Structure 1
Amino acid sequence: MLAVHFGAGNIGRGFIGKLLSQSGYEVCFVDINETVIDELNEKNQYTVEILGQERKEIKVDNVRGINSKANPESVVEAISKADLITTAVGPTVLKMISSSIKEGIEKRIERGKAPVNIIACENMIGGSTMLKEAIQEQMGGSGSLEQYAGFPDAAVDRIVPNQTHDDPLTVAVEPFYEWAVDKTMMVGEVPEIKGITYVDDLAPYIERKLFTVNTGHAMTAYLGYLAGAETIKDALENEALYADVKRALEETGALLKHKYSFDSEVHSAYIEKILARFENPHLVDEVTRVGRAPIRKLGPNDRLTGPASQLMKIGKEPTYLAKGIAAALLFDPKGDEEAVQIQEAIQTNGLSNAITTYTGIEEGSSLFNLIKKHYDELS
C-alpha cells in the first residue's frame, strides 16, 4: 500500500507519516526541502523521539521522498498510484499543492484507478473541504470529482515543538495525539490506520480541540509574552497567568457543553490533561512561536474570538477570553509580520478600528468594550 503525504516537516514525519508507516503503508513524502528529501531517499527511515516521562525512540521505515519543486511529474505519478493521500503543510500551502493533486487525480481517471481518499491533516476547520474546492475549481464543473476522490475532514492534535537535531530527519513529539476523521465523507473502503478515530460527526472533535488546545496555547503565549516569559512552560509557572488560562478554558468548556452536551467531569479532566501537556518539561516551546501569526488567530471564527462571540450569543460573558484577545493585540515581536501589521494598524487607525478589523466584533458591543478594558489594563 502506498500513502503519499504532502509535508515532510515535523508534523508530517513525527505524527502522520509515523502512523501510516506503522499501519503498513509505504510513505512517500512530498516536499521542497531538498535536504530532508535527499536524506529520506538515502536512509529510507528516520527516528521519532517520544518526549514522555521517559524518552523513547521509534524507528519509522519504508519511507521515501519526492522533491516537488525539482520533480513535479514524479509527484503526479505517485498520486496516480496512491492508496491514500494526506497533507500537513499549513492552510496557506494547502491551496498551492492543489494543482499537483488535481493532475494526479486526472491521471487516475485516465488509468481507471479506484477512488482515493485525501485527508488534509491541518490545524484548521474544514481543511479537506477547502482542498477539494480548490481542486474542483481547477477541474471545472461539479460532477466528476466525487466519483474519484473523497475529501474527509479531520481534526488533528499533537504538540511538536521547535527543535534541532544532528540528524535532519529525527523529530521529537509529545506522547499524546488525536487524529479524528469524518467517516461519512470517505469514498470506497475505509482504510485501517492505527491511531485514527473514525467518527460520524467531526464537529465536536474539531471544536473541542480548537477551543481547548489551540485556545489554551494562544492564551498562554500572548499572556506569557506580556509577562516576559520565554516558553509556554515558563509562562504557566506564573500562578496568576495559569489561573487566567484555566478560566478561559472553563469559558470555552461552558460553550462546548452547551453545544454538544459534553459531560462536565469528563471535559474538566480533558482541560487538566491539556494544561499538563503544556507543562511537559521536555517540550520547550517559545511563546513567540506559539503566538505567531496573530491575525489568523484573532479571526472571527478562530480560537479566541470564535468562542468569545458564541458565548455572548448564549448570554455568557467571556471575561478571560476577552483578556486573551487584548493580549494578542499587544503581541509585538519584531520578527512576526502579522504582529507588526497589527501594531502599525493600531498606531495609524486606532485600537477601535483594529479590533473590528481583525476580530469582526462590532464597535460599541459588550464584547468590544470588554476587550478595550482589558487592553487598557494590560498596556
Structure 2
Amino acid sequence: MKQAVHFGAGNIGRGFIGALFSQSGYHVTFVDIADQIITKLNEDQQYNVVLATDEKESVTIQNVSGLNNMTQENEVIEAIKSADYLTTAIGPNILPRIAPLIAKGLAERVKTTDDKLYVIACENQISATDLLKGYIFEQLDEQTKGELEGKVFFFNSAVDRIVPLQNNEGSLDVLVEPYYEWVVETEENIPAIEGMKKVPDLAPFIERKLFTVNTGHAVIAYLGYLHKKETIDQSLADEEVLKQVYATLNETGDYLVKTYKLDEAEHKQYIDKIIGRFKNAHLNDAVTRVGRSPLRKLGANDRLVRPATEAEKAGISYTNLAKAIASALLFDYKEDEEAVKLQALIKEKGLMETLSEVSGLAAESPITKEIERHYKAMK
C-alpha cells in the first residue's frame, strides 16, 4: 500500500490532509507528541470525519496509525524511508522543531532508495514548505543535500478548511466544514491525491486565500471579541461587524485584483462565498479559537499587516485593515498565552514600539499612525 507520513495528528491533520490521503488509498502514519491520540490511532485504526451540515454526513477514515516523535524517533525515520508523501499540518512555529527528525529520515532514506518523496507543508503561511526545507537543510551536510536532488521534492501549498474546536474528548472523530481547498505548486507528474489541485504558480491562490479567508476570519474574531460575541456566526449576525468585515475584504480584494489581474466581479463572489462559509452555525466556532496567537497573526508577513503594507505600496486604501490590526491589538483573552504577552508588551513598551517589534511597522509609517488612531477610538 502507498504510504504517507503526516506530522500533526490534531483535528486539521485528521480531518483534512490525512483524510484525503486515506481516501486516495494511502496508509497514513500520523506523527505527533500527543500520546492519547497516538495510542487511540493505533488501537482503533480508523475514525470518522463528520460534515458540519444539517444532515451531519460522515465518512470513515481507515488505514491509519500513529507514532510519537519524542519517544519513537527510529520508527519515524523508518516510516519516512518508505513514504511516498511527507506532509505537515502542525503550525508554522513548530516546523523548526520537527525539521531535525525529518532531516535524519531523509538522510537515511537516500542511502536505501532512489524512489521519489514529495514534501508539502500544509500550513497557513506563505512559502511554508520553503521554510521547512530551509530548516531541514540546516541539519544536513553538503553531500546529503546533493543526494536529495531528484529524489526528494519540496512543494509549497495553500490549504483551506475550517476545523473548529471539538467536543470530542476520548474520540478521534472530527467535525469539519464541507468546503475545502488544497492547492500545490508543481508541474511535476506527482501521484494523484483526491482533492489536491496542482498549479504552476501558487502566489495568486495562496494570497487570495490568506488575504480573504484568514484575514476575514481574524477580523470577525477580533471584532466579535470586542463586541462580546462568543462565536464567529454570532459575530456576523451583528450588522456593524458584518459591514466592517466586508470593508476590510474589499481593501484586500482591491490589492489582489490589481496585483494578480483577477476578475473583480468573480473576486467579489469569492468574498461572498467565504463569508457565507463563516456564517455556518453548525461549526459553533469560538472567536477565542480563531483569534488565538495574535502575535503570530500580527506578523509582518501574515494576514493583517502584509495586506496593509502591500496596499500602501500600491496606493490602495488600508484604513479598514488598520482598524482590523487595532482590534487584534485589543485582544486580551487571558487564556491565550500570546494575547497575554501582547498586552504585557503594549503596557511595557507602548503601542508604537510593540508594532515595530511584532509587526515590523515603523513609528513614522502612515499605517502605524492609522492603527494608532483606530486603537485609541476603539479602546
Bin for the TM-score computed over the shorter chain: over 0.9
Deviations 1:3-26 (A, max 9, x none): 111111101110011110111111
Q: Supply the distance in 1 between the matched residues of 2:158 and 2:228 (Cα, whole angstroms).
A: 32
- The residue identity in structure 2 corresponding to 1:365 is S
Q: Note if contact 1:155-1:205 (Cα within 8 Å) is conserved in structure 2.
A: yes
- The residue identity in structure 1 corresponding to 2:286 is E
Deviations 1:291-339 (A, max 9, x none): 1111111111111111011111111221111100111111111122222
Relative to structure 2, which stretch is displaced further, 46-55 or 153-162? 46-55
Q: Match for residue 129 of structure 2? A: 128
Q: Are 2:152 and 1:149 aligned?
A: yes
Structure 2: gaps (5+ residues): none
1:39, distance to aligned residue in structure 2 (A): 1.4
Q: Match for residue 341 of structure 2? A: 341
Q: Supply the distance in 2 between the matched residues of 1:179 and 1:44 (Cα, whole angstroms).
A: 25
Q: Are 2:177 and 1:174 aligned?
A: yes
Q: Supply the distance in 2 between the matched residues of 1:111 and 1:337 (Cα, whole angstroms).
A: 44
Q: Match for residue 65 of structure 1? A: 66
Q: Match for residue 38 of structure 1? A: 39
Q: Note if contact 2:110-2:147 (Cα within 8 Å) is conserved in structure 1.
A: no
Q: Supply the distance in 2 between the matched residues of 1:266 and 1:6 (Cα, whole angstroms).
A: 35
Report SS of the residue matched to 1:181. Answer: strand
Q: Are 2:369 and 1:369 aligned?
A: yes
Relative to structure 2, which stretch is displaced further, 285-294 or 190-199? 285-294
Report SS of the residue matched to 2:171. Answer: coil
Instruction: Work out the percentage of aligned pairs sharing the same amino acid.
Output: 48
Report SS of the residue matched to 1:204. Answer: helix
**TM-score of the superposed pair, with normalisation by structure 2:** 0.96
Q: Note if contact 2:47-2:173 (Cα within 8 Å) is conserved in structure 1.
A: yes
Q: Match for residue 261 of structure 2? A: 261
Q: Match for residue 358 of structure 2? A: 358
Q: Note if contact 1:120-1:131 (Cα within 8 Å) is conserved in structure 2.
A: yes
Q: Are 2:168 and 1:165 aligned?
A: yes
Q: Supply the distance in 2 between the matched residues of 1:320 and 1:54 (Cα, whole angstroms).
A: 37
Q: Supply the distance in 1 between the matched residues of 2:346 and 2:34 (Cα, whole angstroms).
A: 37
Q: Supply the distance in 1 between the matched residues of 2:352 and 2:101 (Cα, whole angstroms).
A: 43
Q: Supply the distance in 2 between the matched residues of 1:18 and 1:365 (Cα, whole angstroms).
A: 45
Q: Supply the distance in 1 between the matched residues of 2:97 and 2:165 (Cα, whole angstroms).
A: 24
The residue correspondences of 1:38-57 to structure 2 (distance < 5 A) are: 38-57=39-58
Q: Match for residue 300 of structure 1? A: 300
Report SS of the residue matched to 2:240. Answer: helix
Report SS of the residue matched to 1:138. Answer: coil
Structure 1: gaps (5+ residues): none
How many pairs are equivalent?
376
Q: Note if contact 2:312-2:318 (Cα within 8 Å) is conserved in structure 1.
A: yes
1:362, distance to aligned residue in structure 2 (A): 2.0
Q: Note if contact 1:12-1:88 (Cα within 8 Å) is conserved in structure 2.
A: yes
Deviations 1:204-263 (A, max 9, x none): 111011000100011111111111111111111110111001110011000000111111
Q: Match for residue 22 of structure 1? A: 23
Relative to structure 2, which stretch is displaced further, 352-361 or 9-18? 352-361
| CA shift in 2, pair 1:365/1:110, >3 Å | closer
1:166, distance to aligned residue in structure 2 (A): 5.1
Relative to structure 2, which stretch is displaced further, 65-74 or 153-162? 65-74
Report SS of the residue matched to 2:57. Answer: strand
Q: Match for residue 91 of structure 1? A: 92
Q: Match for residue 13 of structure 1? A: 14
- The residue identity in structure 1 corresponding to 2:166 is Q
1:66, distance to aligned residue in structure 2 (A): 1.5
Q: Match for residue 80 of structure 2? A: 79
Deviations 1:264-294 (A, max 9, x none): 1111111011111111011111111111111
| CA shift in 2, pair 1:161/1:234, >3 Å | same
- The residue identity in structure 2 corresponding to 1:165 is N
Q: Note if contact 2:110-2:148 (Cα within 8 Å) is conserved in structure 1.
A: no
- The residue identity in structure 2 corresponding to 1:309 is T
Q: Supply the distance in 2 between the matched residues of 1:33 and 1:366 (Cα, whole angstroms).
A: 45
Q: Supply the distance in 2 between the matched residues of 1:329 and 1:105 (Cα, whole angstroms).
A: 41
Q: Supply the distance in 2 between the matched residues of 1:170 and 1:183 (Cα, whole angstroms).
A: 32
Q: Supply the distance in 2 between the matched residues of 1:353 and 1:32 (Cα, whole angstroms).
A: 36
1:342, distance to aligned residue in structure 2 (A): 2.0
**TM-score of the superposed pair, with normalisation by structure 1:** 0.96
1:29, distance to aligned residue in structure 2 (A): 1.1
| CA shift in 2, pair 1:220/1:22, >3 Å | same
Q: Match for residue 112 of structure 2? A: 111
Q: Note if contact 1:326-1:375 (Cα within 8 Å) is conserved in structure 2.
A: yes
Relative to structure 2, which stretch is displaced further, 316-325 or 64-73? 64-73
Report SS of the residue matched to 2:207. Answer: helix
Q: Match for residue 290 of structure 1? A: 290
Q: Supply the distance in 1 between the matched residues of 2:29 and 2:269 (Cα, whole angstroms).
A: 38
- The residue identity in structure 1 corresponding to 2:174 is V
Q: Match for residue 278 of structure 2? A: 278
Relative to structure 2, which stretch is displaced further, 309-318 or 172-181? 309-318
Q: Supply the distance in 2 between the matched residues of 1:43 and 1:215 (Cα, whole angstroms).
A: 37
Q: Are 2:208 and 1:205 aligned?
A: no
